[in-house]
Amino acid sequence: MEIVQYPSEILIEKCPVYDYKTMAEDIVSAVEMQTIMEPLKHCAGLAAPQVGIKRRFFVMRDGLSCFKYCFDPIILSHGRDAVIGGEGCMSLGFGDKERGGIFVKAPRWRIVTMEYTNIKGVRVQETFKSLEARVCQHEIDHLNGLLIIKTEDDGG
């Protein structure tokens, strides 16, 4: 399993509605994604399309050494204020000095409440703040075929 790089088509395609029949297989993939992330301390999250899997799930860091698996995530609500902050993306070479990875300023909600299915198959709601809220929004964008950059195709 390797991180897919832009301009791969899978990065700009919306993932279909989540099929819970694939969850056991997706858990195996999510564990592999965590293995990719572990040595990359600058990698806060990784979405399935970033490893070539067109399904609605992602893995994110939950503190320094813990990881959270989020299957079929949706943002239910967000706070009133947004903040502009720096973001990189592993699929845009973030952390790769040789490739000159892209780092941009992006507006994100400071607080989000997300609903997702956890690794135990339980549907949960959780509120995230600051960096974790930013990561949730960034990874859900990946599931919707959105990147932190604009391409020439869309006039950006």
Both tokens assigned to 62: 């939950």
Tell me whether strands 123-129 and 45-47 are parallel, antiparallel or unpaired.
Answer: unpaired
Nearest to 112 by CA among 143, 148, 83: 83
Q: Which residue in 9, 115, 139, 152 is the catalytic one?
A: 139
Per-residue burial over 79-94, b if 16 or more Cβ lie within 10 Å, else e, is: eeeeeeeebbbbbbbb
Q: Is 25 a catalytic residue?
A: no
Beta carbons within 10 angstroms of residue 41's beta carbon: 10
CB 46 within 8 A of CB 59: yes
Query: What are the catalytic residues?
Result: 139
